[in-house]
A and B are shown apart, each in its own frame.
Chain A
Amino acid sequence: MGRVEVSTRRRPALPRWIWPWLLLLPTFMSLGAVAFWPILEGLRLSFTNTSLISGSTDYVGLSNYVGLMSDGRFWNAWVHTVWFTVISTGLETLIGLGMALILCERFRCRGLIRAAMLVPWAMPTVVTSKMFAWLFDGQNGVINWVLLNSGIIQSNINWYGDPQTAMATIIIADVWKTAPFMALLLLTGLQSIPTSLTEAARMDGARGWMIFWTIRLPLLLPTLLIAGLFRALDAFRIFDLVYVLTGGGPADSTETLSTLAYKELFSTLEFGYGTTVTTAMFITEALLAVILCLWLVHTIRRVT
């Protein structure tokens, strides 16, 4: 009898099904603490007029959002952010694809070049920003010097001081920095395409472009879209390049949602309105992700 008692005491008092959940609990808790709680708290703040300066924390319903819809600064930043995301992701995908196709071929020192290619991506963005500030400096920049001496331009271009070129310059810096990352992602995709397919096509007389358009590109498309999705979501948060290079100027021409949110949150300490900006940003980004994901699923179904 005593023996039975011992064994019941040893047997877990909890039902079996609960164990997996119990073991998952720490994960849920840490995820909740670092991911879901901040999002919900941000959402809550966006319905208040919380301000560190006035000390107010009252619920104001949707009035922050109503204000946001009629705030010219917000829409200006929104348009810039979307524009930046579309153009930089597009260029990075194209250039990255080109780089990946080259690096996929066999040639001398391929390993070395593959490693060297990643240097721009590995560099801290603040360093990249400072570097581009010098390269595109309106007075002493190398870019102006080269363009002037090759006769492409007649006088120095004021890259960061002119609203026409400031955003373009930031996009160039971002493309330089992130195209190698795209190339890396696409290279893994290219390498997973069986060589037997391309060899068979070659036997049938297909040439380079034909192989690319009919075999490689369709098979690469899922990777391409996933890489594009990652990149677009990342590009949407563009902050550091703008912050270091132009601070949003001149004439608000490079203001993005992140820099606007930073100014609202940390310069004016208006947490209520600031989180409204970040929530609007989150919603736009979620929409972007959903559209790209749907397209991705659709494409993968078609290809496979």
Chain B
Amino acid sequence: MTTFKPQATAPLTSVRATGMDRRAFITTTAAGLGAVALGAPTRARAQGRKEISFASASFFGSETFGDLVKTFNESQDRITVKYLELPPPSSSTEVYQRLVQLLARRNGTPDVFSQDAIWIAGFAAAGWALPLDEFLDADARSQYFTGTLNACTWDNKVTALPWFMDTGMMYYRKDLVEKHNAKVPEQWADMVALGQAAVKAGDCEFGYIWQGKQAEVLVCNAVELIASNNGAILADDGRSSRIGEPEAIAAIKFLYDSMNSYGISPKDVLSWDEEPSRQPFTAGKSIFTRNWSYVWPIAQDPAASIIVGKVGASPLPHFPGGKSASCLGGYQLGLNANTKERDASWEFMSWLSAPEQQRRIALNFGLGPSRPALFDDAELNQKQPFMATLRPVFTNATPRPVTPEYAKVTLALQSGISKALVSGEVEKEMLALATQLNALVR
């Protein structure tokens, strides 16, 4: 049984149930401090070993990252890693704050950290993350998904080591696609046609459900649409805006039209993030939806879904002349620029990202590997059959704008795109947004 968790889905903003998260934050911080305190006696025992620390958002599966660290500590006798547990990824704003506070001290703690894809450029530009180019030759790089490596690169330097990932993808109703004698759509226009046909035939209420709430997830939806039309939000160097270009405008217009002229999406998507949009899909109300990998196990769970066994997942469609793009999420590894144990830290992080550990994370946490070769693994495909579906999706992984100003860029994007989707004056809003972004990233 797959155990995907909603991870890295709404990296900066949508933190639900603040009170709970705060509490979780406090307890995990306390637990982390407790762990550090308890770790003290082992220092005496482990004399002669180099000591490094590892901070990460806490993911849970059939084990925790603490178990991974334990395995590493037991596997050799030169390095001891202390694990500093941060809040869970659902509280990613808190994780971000904690990491920034730790790294800004520039005292080398934590030596190794895991970071959401969208923070990489900011940490690199602040000089907190060590460029890893000297450790990574061309051969080592070729073993990771290109899109993930791109997200790990700032200013032509690789400053993060790919770890595990998640991306947006299209879920579809196998039974309804078959009923209409159609193929799984590869272009947006085909999806619209099929969606309209299914709605007209009364098979479902909606053709396509996406996430339009003024939140991080809206930016993810926009990245996918724009990239699938050969456009981009920022230029490759991250220093000028491309959202005012016709490709981007046409892509956002598509989202507006999906509600207003194609009639395949309810206007309610403007207030939906992941879960509100997942519910109608697993209640059989829509033929297509866009979401993250966490939806798969829910859709296969008879207690939560009436479409068990009728769901397929595939890369998102694209515009004519473009190619499918899926917004990249997930946590990647960083090496603190102020570390005092550079080589020991690199040894630990490359161990974490090695095929054996990525495989273990895929099996026990349900988190997608960043190494394409792992998708050929027989045991993995047998125990997590959904993983096989993810390979073509992950191949199209597209990073969100890579810029140290991402936190400001995303707020501007959320506001500007939301305005365009509400008013329908897409071109005007996108041009205004372009001016705004140019001022932010220049």
Contact B18–A158 (Cβ < 8 Å)? no
A217–B407 Cα distance when bound, in Å, is 52
Q: Does A263 contact B (CB under 8 A)?
A: yes
A243–B16 Cα distance when bound, in Å, is 8
Closest B-chain residue to A269, C-beta based?
B100
Contact B266–A249 (Cβ < 8 Å)? no
A60 CB to nearest B CB, Å: 17
B365 CB to nearest A CB, Å: 27
Closest B-chain residue to A76, C-beta based?
B415
Q: Does B404 contact A (CB under 8 A)?
A: yes
Contact B17–A244 (Cβ < 8 Å)? yes
Q: Which of B372-423 contact A (CB under 8 A)?
A: 404, 407-408, 410-411, 414-415, 418-419, 421-423
A63 CB to nearest B CB, Å: 15
Chain A hits for B13, CB < 8 A = 247, 263, 267
Q: Which of A49-92 contact B (CB under 8 A)?
A: 52-55, 73
Closest B-chain residue to A254, C-beta based?
B214
Total A-B residue contacts, Cβ distance less than 8 Å: 108
Q: Does A251 contact B (CB under 8 A)?
A: yes
Q: Does A284 contact B (CB under 8 A)?
A: no
Q: Does A163 contact B (CB under 8 A)?
A: yes
Contact A73–B97 (Cβ < 8 Å)? no
Contact B415–A161 (Cβ < 8 Å)? no
- On chain A, the number of residues with a Cβ less than 8 Å from chain B's Cβ atoms is 35
Q: Which of A199-253 contact B (CB under 8 A)?
A: 240, 243-244, 246-253
The stretch that binds A, out of B156-164, B249-257, B268-276, B326-334, is B268-276
A248–B122 Cα distance when bound, in Å, is 25
Q: Find B267's partner among A138, A247, A269 (CB 8 Å cutoff).
A: A138
Contact A251–B267 (Cβ < 8 Å)? no
A274 CB to nearest B CB, Å: 12
Chain B hits for A248, CB < 8 A = 214, 415
Chain B hits for A246, CB < 8 A = 213-214, 271
A131 CB to nearest B CB, Å: 13
Q: Does B101 contact A (CB under 8 A)?
A: yes
Chain A hits for B408, CB < 8 A = 268, 270
Q: Find B215's partner among A162, A249, A266 (CB 8 Å cutoff).
A: A249
B219 CB to nearest A CB, Å: 12
Q: Does B19 contact A (CB under 8 A)?
A: yes
0/1 string, B254-298, CB within 8 A of A gives 1: 000000000000111111100010001000010000000000000
Contact B270–A250 (Cβ < 8 Å)? yes
Q: Does B148 contact A (CB under 8 A)?
A: no
Q: Which of B118-148 contact A (CB under 8 A)?
A: 122, 126
B159 CB to nearest A CB, Å: 15
Most A-side CB within 10 Å, residue of B12, B122, B407, B414: B407
A24–B285 Cα distance when bound, in Å, is 66
A241 CB to nearest B CB, Å: 11
Q: A161-B267, A249-B270, A251-B415 are in contact. Are A53 and B214 (CB under 8 A)?
A: no
Chain A hits for B20, CB < 8 A = 126
Q: Find B271's partner among A124, A250, A266 (CB 8 Å cutoff).
A: A250
Contact B415–A53 (Cβ < 8 Å)? no
Chain A hits for B280, CB < 8 A = 139
Q: Does B46 contact A (CB under 8 A)?
A: no
Q: Does B104 contact A (CB under 8 A)?
A: yes
Q: Does A160 contact B (CB under 8 A)?
A: yes
Q: Does B350 contact A (CB under 8 A)?
A: no
Category for how many chain B residues contact A: 35 or more
Closest A-chain residue to B17, C-beta based?
A126
Q: A249-B215, A268-B407, A269-B407 are in contact. Are A158 and B271 (CB under 8 A)?
A: yes
Contact A52–B214 (Cβ < 8 Å)? no
A247–B414 Cα distance when bound, in Å, is 10
A52–B122 Cα distance when bound, in Å, is 11
Chain A hits for B241, CB < 8 A = none
Chain A hits for B421, CB < 8 A = 250-251
Q: Does B93 contact A (CB under 8 A)?
A: yes
A129–B93 Cα distance when bound, in Å, is 20
Contact A138–B271 (Cβ < 8 Å)? yes
Contact B268–A247 (Cβ < 8 Å)? no
Contact B93–A251 (Cβ < 8 Å)? no
Q: A52-B101, A53-B122 are in contact. Are A267 and B411 (CB under 8 A)?
A: yes
Q: Which of B150-173 contact A (CB under 8 A)?
A: none
A124–B18 Cα distance when bound, in Å, is 11
A246–B218 Cα distance when bound, in Å, is 13
Q: Does B14 contact A (CB under 8 A)?
A: yes
A159–B268 Cα distance when bound, in Å, is 8
A247–B421 Cα distance when bound, in Å, is 16
Contact A266–B414 (Cβ < 8 Å)? no
A82–B97 Cα distance when bound, in Å, is 30
A270–B408 Cα distance when bound, in Å, is 10
Chain A hits for B17, CB < 8 A = 126, 130, 244
Contact B19–A247 (Cβ < 8 Å)? no
Contact A251–B423 (Cβ < 8 Å)? yes
Q: Find A247's partner among B213, B266, B269, B422 (CB 8 Å cutoff).
A: B213
Q: A138-B271, A158-B268 are in contact. Are A251 and B422 (CB under 8 A)?
A: yes
Most B-side CB within 10 Å, residue of A162, A243, A249: A249
Most B-side CB within 10 Å, residue of A130, A138, A251, A266: A251
A73–B411 Cα distance when bound, in Å, is 11
Chain A hits for B214, CB < 8 A = 246-252
**Supplied contacts A124-B19, A161-B270, 15 more A-B pairs, CB within 8 Å:** A126-B17, A126-B19, A130-B17, A138-B266, A158-B268, A161-B267, A163-B422, A244-B18, A246-B213, A247-B215, A249-B215, A252-B418, A266-B93, A269-B97, A269-B407
20 contacts between A and B (CB under 8 A): A52-B101, A73-B415, A139-B268, A158-B267, A162-B422, A240-B18, A243-B18, A247-B213, A249-B214, A249-B271, A249-B414, A250-B270, A252-B214, A266-B93, A267-B411, A268-B411, A269-B97, A269-B100, A269-B407, A270-B408
Contact residues of B with A, CB < 8 Å? Answer: 12-14, 16-20, 93, 97, 100-101, 104, 122, 126, 212-215, 266-272, 276, 280, 285, 404, 407-408, 410-411, 414-415, 418-419, 421-423
Contact residues of A with B, CB < 8 Å? Answer: 52-55, 73, 124, 126, 130, 137-139, 158-163, 166, 240, 243-244, 246-253, 263, 266-270
* In the A-B complex, the 10 residue pairs with the closest CB atoms: A249-B214, A161-B270, A160-B271, A161-B271, A138-B268, A251-B422, A268-B407, A251-B419, A250-B270, A251-B418
